[in-house]
Amino acid sequence: MVGSGGREHALAQVLGRSAEVVVTPGNPGIPESVSEPPEEIEADLFVIGPEAPLVDGLADRLRHRGRLVFGPGTDGARLEGSKAWMKEVLVEAGVPTARYGAFTDRAAARAFLDRLDGLFVVKTDGLAAGKGVLVTGDREEADAAVAAYLSGDAFGDAGRRVVIEQGLTGPELSVLAVCDGTTAVPLAPAQDFKRLGDGDSGPNTGGMGAYSPVPVATERLVDDLMEEAVLPTLAALQSRGIDYRGVLYCGLMLTPGGPRVLEYNVRFGDPETQVVLPRMVDDLADLLAAAAAGTLGDPPAFDDDAAVTVVCATEGYPASPCTGDAIDGAEAASDSEHVTVFYSGVDRSGDHLVTAGGRVLAVTGKGATLAEARDRAYAGVEKISWPGMHHRVDIAAHPTGASD
Ligand code: AMP
Ligand code: GLY
């Protein structure tokens, strides 16, 4: 397993039910961590967690050495590495998505903003750790963001090309599809909370919490999504000669006009993984190995339990996270069989784990219902502290589509 965050911690734990797992580089909160680079590790299967090494070609390099790899090559990873290219593929595949334009020129971008109404969305073309997206009703603010992105001031080279979209409204949904190049199977849907503050206020983040299952995401909705978005996208990739073996993470908005794909990511979501995988019944190692080998079978089964995860972040996240504070209570929080603490931005200092990034821990509770899972996750969070620790209090408080 390649990576160092809570997503990789969860993947390692669930893969570890049936396989011997090492995580590189991991982090001091992940017991299976090793320091050897992936190229120097002998393994039957390599699973690459984050987008950056995928965009950088790690899967290609490992495949070139004859390894079995779960994760797309640079060609497929471009779906996440360039939002402009992703939109081109979506349009070619006939997948419903927001109206857009891609620009390197400010005057042309401004002219496009004039043709939109209501909500304006400005995105960096390149990778920006989930933070390069501005959604605003204020045209002037959108225009100022375009200028800051294009100049390189806001996000360096990632922003020198911008994607501008018509803003959409509705609940969001994350559906992760496991792909083997020609076919795909869905994992249980999850909902992620992207904004920093309660009530979806504040800036976009990498994700402040998640839950699964999502009442609105019926089997029918997921089947339709596979037919209308994931499989046509895979076919469009194939027609470009791209053999996509890995996760296609479909970020959706359920608009009044029907589901729209907001984005694809080329990896498992963080923190969605921390609620989806703990519910998995079938063997994850078998599933990912079959995808990597091009021999996927039936969709995997998930249990009826619910899972809720709450992210504990540092003061200043996402703009400028404070780090180096000793984390108290993380072990006490996970002393119940229903609660697991997944470690992300942590480091070791003497005997202590200390904060080392914006998103530090994801505390997952499981239960028979979302309400029970939520109570357990928050009971875990209450035991954890460090100076300036921040978390949302409304994760899964009003699950989309729930009858009450
Ligand atoms: P992305 O990285 O493209 O998924 O964007 C991050 C977040 O920005 C999404 O999860 C949405 O909350 C929001 N967003 C992106 N595109 C749009 C859009 N066209 N309309 C409204 N919100 C959007
Ligand atoms: N939670 C959003 C993401 O992984 O991109």
pLDDT tens-digit series, residues 51-66: 999 999 999 999 999 9
Summarize pLDDT for 300-314 with one digit per residue, the tens: 999 999 999 999 999
d(CA 284, CA 334): 23
d(CA 77, CA 137): 31
To the question of domain 168-399 being in CATH 3.30.470.20, the answer is: yes
Q: Which residue out of 79, 135, 204, 255 has the highest number of ligand 1 atoms within 8 Å of its CB and is therefore the one to mutate?
A: 135
Helix 83-93 and helix 231-239, axial crossing angle in degrees, nearest 10: 100
d(CA 135, CA 384): 32
- C-beta of 251 in contact with ligand 1 (< 6 A): yes
Length of the chain: 404
At position 373, the amino acid (one-letter code) is A
Q: What are phi and psi of 93, to 5 degrees?
A: -80, -5
Torsion, CA 70, CA 75, CA 80, CA 83, rounded to 10: -160
Q: Which residue out of 90, 112, 253, 400 has the highest number of ligand 1 atoms within 8 Å of its CB and is therefore the one to mutate?
A: 253
Q: Which stretch of 30-34, 274-278, 332-336, 356-360 has the lowest confidence by average pLDDT? A: 332-336
Summarize pLDDT for 99-133 with one digit per residue, the tens: 999 999 999 999 999 999 889 999 999 988 767 88
Q: Which atom of ligand 2 is nearest to the CA of 192?
A: 1
Note the pLDDT of residue 264. 95
Q: Which of 354, 353, 367 is nearest to 396 (CA)?
A: 367
Q: Which residue out of 11, 79, 127, 174 has the highest number of ligand 2 atoms within 8 Å of its CB and is therefore the one to mutate?
A: 174
Q: Cα angle at 202 between 254 and 315, to 5 degrees?
A: 130
Instruction: Give the residues surrounding ligand 2 with Cβ less than 6 Å away.
Output: 130, 192, 206-207, 265, 269-270, 272
Of all ligands present, the nearest one to the C-alpha of 171 is 1
**CATH level 2 (architecture), domain 99-166:** 2-Layer Sandwich (3.30)
Summarize pLDDT for 379-399 with one digit per residue, the tens: 999 999 999 999 999 999 999
3-state secondary structure the chain: CEECCHHHHHHHHHHCCCCCCCEEECCCCCCCECCCCHHHCCCCCEEECCHHHHHCCHHHHHHHCCCCEECCCHHHHHHHHCHHHHHHHHHHHCCCECCEEEECCHHHHHHHHHCCCCCEEEEECCCCCCCCEEEECCHHHHHHHHHHHHCCCCCHHHHCCEEEEECCCCCEEEEEEEEECCCEEECCCEEECCEEECCCEEEECCCCEEEECCCCCCHHHHHHHHHHHHHHHHHHHHHCCCCCEEEEEEEEEEECCEEEEEEEECCCCCCCHHHHHHHECCCHHHHHHHHHHCCCCCCCCECCCEEEEEEEECCCCCCCCCCCCECECHHHHCCCCCEEEEECCEEEECCEEEECCCEEEEEEEEECCHHHHHHHHHHHHHCCECCCCECCCCCCCCCCCCCC
Note the pLDDT of residue 53. 96
Note the pLDDT of residue 50. 96
- C-beta of 165 in contact with ligand 1 (< 6 A): yes
- C-beta of 123 in contact with ligand 1 (< 6 A): yes
pLDDT band at 403 (very low <50, low <70, confident <90, very high): confident
For atom 16 of ligand 1, which residue has the closest CA?
Answer: 262
Q: Which of 272, 262, 204 is nearest to 83 (CA)?
A: 262
Of all ligands present, the nearest one to the C-alpha of 132 is 1
Cβ contact 386:355 at 8 Å: yes
Note the pLDDT of residue 239. 96
> 117 or 279: whose pLDDT is higher?
279
Asked if 99-166 and 168-399 have one fold, the answer is no
For atom 5 of ligand 1, which residue has the closest CA?
Answer: 133
- C-beta of 394 in contact with ligand 1 (< 6 A): no
For atom 4 of ligand 2, which residue has the closest CA?
Answer: 269
- C-beta of 263 in contact with ligand 1 (< 6 A): yes
Has residue 404 got a pLDDT over 60? no
Has residue 202 got a pLDDT over 60? yes
Residue 55's contacts (CB-CB under 8 Å, 6 or more residues apart) are 74, 77, 78, 80, 81, 127, 266
Note the pLDDT of residue 117. 86
pTM assigned to the model:
0.95
Q: Where are the domains of the chain?
A: 99-166, 168-399
Q: Cα angle at 95 between 225 and 249, to 5 degrees?
A: 55
Summarize pLDDT for 223-276 with one digit per residue, the tens: 999 999 999 999 999 999 999 999 999 999 999 999 999 999 999 999 999 999
Has residue 180 got a pLDDT over 80? yes
